[in-house]
Amino acid sequence: MANIMYWEAIQRAHDEEMARDPLVICMGEDIGVAGGTYKATKGLYEKYGPLRVMDTPISEGGFTGLGIGASFLGVRPIIELMSVNFAWLAMDQMFNSAAKVRYMSGGQLTAPCVFRSAGGAAHQLGAQHSARMEKVFMGIAGLRVVTPSNPKQAYGLLKSAIRCDDPVFINEHELMYNMKGEVPDGEYFHPLEGSDIARAGTDVTLFGYNISVHWCLKAAEILDKQYGISAEVVDLYSLAPLDRAGIKASVSKTHRAVIAEEDEAPVGVGSEVIAIINEECFFELDAAPIRVHSALVPQPYNHTLEKAAIPDHEDVVKAVLKLFGKA
Amino acid sequence: MKIDDKKRVLREMVLHRRFEERCYQAYIERKIGGFLHLYPGQEACCNGVMEAARPGHDYVITGYRDHVHAIKCGADPKEVMAELYGKETGSSKGRGGSMHIFDAAKRFMGGYALVGGPFPLAAGIAKAIQLKGGDEIAICFLGDAANNQGVFHETLNMAALWKLPVLFVCENNLYGIGTSIERSTAVIHQHKRVAAYNIPADECDGQDIEVVYEHARKAVDHVRAGNGPFFLELMTYRYRGHSMSDSRGYRSREEEELWKQRDPIFILRDRLIKEGAITMAEFEAIEKETDAYIENEVIKFSEESPEPRVEDLEKYVLADRDTQLPWLTGKAA
Ligand SMILES: Cc1ncc(C[n+]2csc(CCOP(=O)(O)OP(=O)(O)O)c2C)c(N)n1
Ligand SMILES: [Mg+2]
């Protein structure tokens, strides 16, 4: 096991897959000569050259469509959208072309592309650079959505996404690229579907994904030490499809649920998880599930307002205490 | 340009330069957060064009490198700095930050963070001017790399088709973040790209304000006279990195030095000295006065201003509900 950073894990997956298959290419703004905004493609340009590591113009709609078109002929492009906020410009091609082409061609064409993007709110980047857009991607038929919460997932999910014949969107996090974690030394493929139990517990399930897994883990620690509540943390690294069986299994065990998301609440992961709980195991519930989520505002620049807009582990603790009638 | 105007603009450009350098310092001191894109090196572009236009009357829109454009339109430097400090007194009440300076009263229609986003907005502003019948024009300042967005071409087509009073100013500083123009763009000289849309275009040196002014005057006159859009390309250079975390590994120190020898402020200063309009001592005094103003007024104001209140987090998301009730409830009288 190597202890490496999230960006290094992503870089390693790129490198291994590009070494294996000459049709794996990557493209995006400043990914080549500059090595990538978050270093996720560092050294690849030098190793694989400009034909396979493409520094693109600032033409998100154009280069995303170009990558998708190449994938029709079996190329496996890893398309980096520098920030998820810029993915808006690429969504037409992602949704209308990549996600639908298999279906509307009756299975003749496929778009085996990987779209990677830095999501989440970093610090004080303002309204147009702090979007969390999980909700947008996870509701599109024909598109898979995963979101790694640690280096092992970042590596293994990208490896699987490249091999998978479906288009996969990987939602990374701006604040997590330097996070360290254990990654297997040998080749490893993380399942694209399912969920991980990040911490086992018996009294309440804390559902998180990507950065909110870390709020949940921190909250579980506090709940255990200070309140004697045993929280299970379920890492929903796959947002499309969501792991119905995993959600059901955990809630059937703990009978209580809190869903923590960095996205805003309406039409989001939380509402979807609660719908699944209702459909799968409503009568297992001892209390109504609670969502912890961001305020429904364009992200403010001011740091105090920004902090107020985005939840953290303390909000998760508060939600659990409320669930137990302790607050 | 008249001599008095040149002297005034020199003073303004010194303010623009020192303001930006002070921002850099404040960022290091962590008074300013987020992304910060600075303008040193490109001052003659904004100043030259706006001297030919009518600041505060004509509408201006731009990208994230927006502080100087706002100030040139008439925004109070104190409010611009307070915005960077995230204060309630800031031009966007601390909600916007560096990339989103707005001053609607001064017809500065804002800075936008998505590359290329302002193109169609500028055309839309021009459309409104056309409908309302005013003599204003819309001016869109963007970088060279922005022209690789599809919306650039879509906007040029519509602006030409509908003869919209919009001036597109391309500040070609040869880079989009760390990618040089020859590595991102098939055509280096951007004005060539607009020929296909029957839009007249021009290119000139963006370091010498008098050159910019002469070319801009023709461009502005063309648009204001109702002849439709114009595209003006200014060849320039940004002295600092793209944003704050940029070690400039993608360009050589020699190249930077070459451009620094063509510093727009020094070009104007030296010309005015040669013409006998100012002395070096006077120039140095301007710098000192400017620094004192920035420290004693701009920074002081920003430091002392209050932060927005957390209770107001959701203010400005939508219109004030009370003002909209007839439409929200369907009970319009
Ligand atoms: C749609 C979109 N894609 C990518 C970015 C990231 N980005 C910010 S500025 C920039 C370079 C823009 O270069 P240019 O238009 O030449 O303007 P300059 O910064 O040189 O003034 C890029 C790629 C963005 N903000 N928006
Ligand atoms: Mg540029």
Instruction: Give the residue extent of every domain in chain A.
Output: 2-183, 196-323
> What local confidence, expressed as pLDDT, does residue B331 receive?
87
Phi, psi at B137, each rounded to 5° = -130, 160
pLDDT at B211: 98
pLDDT surpassing 70 at residue A104: yes
Give the C-alpha separation, B56 to B76, whole Å.
12
pLDDT digits (tens, 9 = 90+) for A218-273: 999 999 999 999 999 999 999 999 999 999 999 999 999 999 999 999 999 999 99
Query: In the 8-state DSSP scheme, what is residue B317?
Result: S
* Distance between A169 CA and the closest CA of chain B, angstroms: 21
Output the pLDDT for position B333: 66
For B307, the closest of A59, A125, A302 (CB atoms) is A302
Name the residue type at position B44.
A
Nearest residue (CA) to ligand 1, atom 6? B115
pLDDT (0 to 100) of residue B332: 78
Are both A2-183 and A196-323 of the same fold?
A: yes
| A125/B35 CB distance under 8 A | yes
Name the residue among A61, A129, A301 with its Cβ closest to that of B95.
A301
**Residue B189 and residue B172: Cα distance in Å, rounded?**
9
In the residue annotation, A60 being an active-site residue is answered as yes
Picking from A104, A98, A117, A105, the residue whose alpha carbon sits closest to that of residue A167 is A98
Whether chain A has a CB inside 8 Å of the CB on B248: the answer is no
The pLDDT of residue B247: 87
The reply to whether residue A58 touches residue B96, judged by beta carbons under 8 angstroms, is no
Cβ(A86) to ligand 1 under 6 A?
Answer: yes
Place of tokens 């459309």: B127
Q: At residue B99, what is the residue type?
A: M
Question: CATH 3.40.50.970: does it fit domain B3-329?
Answer: yes
A58 in contact with ligand 1, CB cutoff 6 A: yes
Q: List CB contacts (< 8 A) between B178 and chain A.
A: 30, 33-34
In this structure, which residue's CA is closest to atom 8 in ligand 1?
A: B115
From the list A8, A29, A60, A172, the catalytic residue is A60
- Helix (H/G/I), strand (E/B), else coil: B157: helix
What pLDDT was estimated at residue B234?
A: 98
Average pLDDT (A145-167) is 98
Q: How far apart are CA A117 and CA A170, in angstroms?
A: 6
B176 lines ligand 1 (CB under 6 A): yes
Mean pLDDT (whole number) for B196-209: 97
- Taking residues B196-220, report their average pLDDT: 98
The yes-or-no verdict on residue B245 having pLDDT over 90 is: no
Average pLDDT over every residue of B212-222: 98
Q: A-chain residues within 8 Å CB-CB of B310? A: 304-305, 308
pLDDT at residue A327, as a whole number: 77
Instruction: Decide: B244 in ligand 1 pocket, CB within 6 A.
Output: no
Residue B231 has pLDDT above 80, yes or no: yes
- Nearest-Cα distance to chain A for B230, in Å, is 23
Residues 6+ apart with CB under 8 A from B162: B127, B130
Is the CB of residue B247 less than 8 Å away from at least one CB of chain A?
Answer: no
Category of A271 on φ-ψ map: left (φ > 0), alpha (ψ -120 to 50) or beta: alpha
Among A241-245, A322-326, B59-63, name the one with the lowest average pLDDT: A322-326
Ligand 2 centre to CA of B182 (Å) is 12
Q: Is the CB of B175 under 6 A from ligand 1?
A: yes
Mean pLDDT, chain A, whole residue set: 97
Q: Do A29 and B179 touch (CB under 8 A)?
A: yes
End-to-end Cα distance, chain B: 57
Q: B98-154: per-residue pLDDT in tens?
A: 999 999 999 999 999 999 999 999 999 999 999 999 999 999 999 999 999 999 999
What does the pLDDT read at residue B124?
95
The CATH class that applies to domain A2-183 reads alpha beta
Distance CA A313, CA B161 (A): 55
Q: Is A255 a catalytic residue?
A: no
A62 touches chain B (CB under 8 A): yes
Average pLDDT over residues A48-54: 97
Q: Is the pLDDT of residue B214 over 90?
A: yes
Q: Which long-range contacts (CB under 8 A, 24 or more apart) does B273-278 make?
A: B275/B3, B277/B3, B277/B6, B277/B7, B278/B7, B278/B10
Q: Does domain A196-323 have CATH number 3.40.50.920?
A: yes
State whether ipTM is beyond 0.85. yes
Chain A residues with CB under 8 Å of B148 CB are: 57-59, 62
**pLDDT tens, A5-28?**
999 999 999 999 999 999 999 999
Q: How confident is the model at residue A310 (pLDDT cuts 50, 70, 90)?
A: very high
At residue A64, the 3 state secondary structure works out as: helix
DSSP secondary-structure letter at B199? -
* Cβ < 5 A residues, ion ligand 2: B 143-145, 173, 176
Tell me the pTM.
0.94
Compute the average pLDDT of residues B269-292. 98
Could A59 and B96 be called an inter-chain contact, meaning their C-beta atoms sit closer than 8 Å? Answer: no
Q: If you average pLDDT over residues B49-64, what whole number do you get?
A: 98
* Residues of A with Cβ-Cβ distance to B307 under 8 angstroms: 302, 304
Using CA atoms, how far apart are residues A75 and A59, in angstroms rounded to an integer?
20
Q: What is the pLDDT of residue B198?
A: 95
Residue B27 has pLDDT above 90, yes or no: yes
Strands A196-199 and A231-235: antiparallel
Residue linked to tokens 């979101």: A147
Share of chain A above pLDDT 70, in %: 100
Across the interface, whether the CB atoms of B97 and A301 are under 8 A apart is answered: yes
